[in-house]
Amino acid sequence: MTMTRTVLLAFLALPAAALAAPPNACDLLTQEEINLVAERKVERVQPQKSGNPSECGYLDARKGAVLVLTVREVQYAVMEEMNVEMQNLEKIYRAKSKPVDAVGDAAYWLPVNSQLGFRKGKTIVTVRFSTPKNQNAIDTAQVARVVEARLANVPK
């Protein structure tokens, strides 16, 4: 009986933020917003992972990915977590990332895999275009700014 009470008290002591679900990646962008930038038109939105991290694929008519958006919420040391992720990618691809100033609290662009990663509060986001014409920092940052604005409006 004491063990059950201890477990119950420990569960109740958890902060509400630890139990909150991260934002759903598919809710942060619309097809129309991507189509303003993308070479190929997005016809379908498909959740690829749910929970934490949440990943969403924006697909064209042939079910090929146009853009992939990943959102992950971190409870502690968000900046360090993003830096470790960035350093691991640099080691894997043997390439250097470039800092991006105009997105989130901190951001980087990794040209080798055409990925922009940024953090906003306790949320880490990655944006990757799959279309060659859009695999550049400008187009990816434009979409990332839309996601950043939506994250600011997500209730905590």
* Predicted local confidence at residue 2, as pLDDT: 54
Residue ranges, the chain, pLDDT below 70? 1-20, 156
Q: Which two tokens stand for residue 82?
A: 């993003």
The answer to the question of residue 10 being in a domain is no
Please write the tens of the pLDDT for every residue from 1-45: 454 454 344 444 444 444 457 789 999 999 999 999 999 999 999
Q: What pLDDT score does 20 carry?
A: 57
pTM above 0.85, yes or no: no
Residue 8 lies in a domain: no
In a domain, 12, yes or no: no
Q: Which of 99, 80, 35, 94 is nearest to 61 (CA)?
A: 35
Per the domain annotation, does 111 fall within a domain? yes
| Peptide bond between residue 15 and the one before it cis (omega within 30 degrees of 0) | no
pLDDT on residue 3: 47
Q: Please give the sequence-ordered ranges of beta strands (E in DSSP) within the chain, or none if there are none.
A: 44-49, 54-59, 65-73, 98-99, 106-110, 115-120, 123-129
CATH number of the structural domain spanning residue 88:
3.40.1000
